[in-house]
Amino acid sequence: MAAMTTVLEEFSVNGNSKTYTVSSHTTVKPQLVISSRRVPGQNQTVAENTVRVVYATVDSAGDPIPDRVSFGATLRVPIYGASADVTAAKAVFRDFVASDEFDAMVSAQSHPA
């Protein structure tokens, strides 16, 4: 598997949640990656991870706006599930996020074909 090319710096850790800043992060224009996990315990059989990328943005005049760009995913994996099925699902997810259809969905709010 390829390593990430984006440089992240650990910003804070709170139990099962971590926040990272992207190298171009500033207080005026925050750029964050927020990750959390839920470890199965007792009768639970599904591990869960969430990740969210949050970016501040500006309007056409270059002025900061209060709304944020936010992309996220929730990953739920049954702990007794077949690893081949998990690997196959990861491959489809990566393919979708790297696709032109994903780009069109984000840019034009269209449904993937």
pTM for the whole structure: 0.86
pLDDT (mean) for 74-91: 97
Is 4 in a helix, a strand, or coil?
A: coil
Average pLDDT over residues 105-110: 88
Closest CA to 16 of 43, 49, 52, 53: 49
pLDDT at site 86: 97
pLDDT for the residue numbered 109: 83
Pairing state between β 8-14 and 17-22: antiparallel
Residue 112: pLDDT band with limits 50, 70, 90:
confident
The H or E element spanning position 71 is strand 64-78
44 three-state secondary structure? coil
Predicted confidence (pLDDT) at residue 47 exceeds the cutoff of 90: yes
What would the pLDDT profile of 1-41 be if each residue is shown by its tens digit?
678 899 999 999 999 999 999 999 998 899 999 999 999 98
Task: Give the per-residue pLDDT at 1.
Answer: 62
User: What is the residue-wise DSSP string for 98-110?
Assistant: TSHHHHHHHHH-P
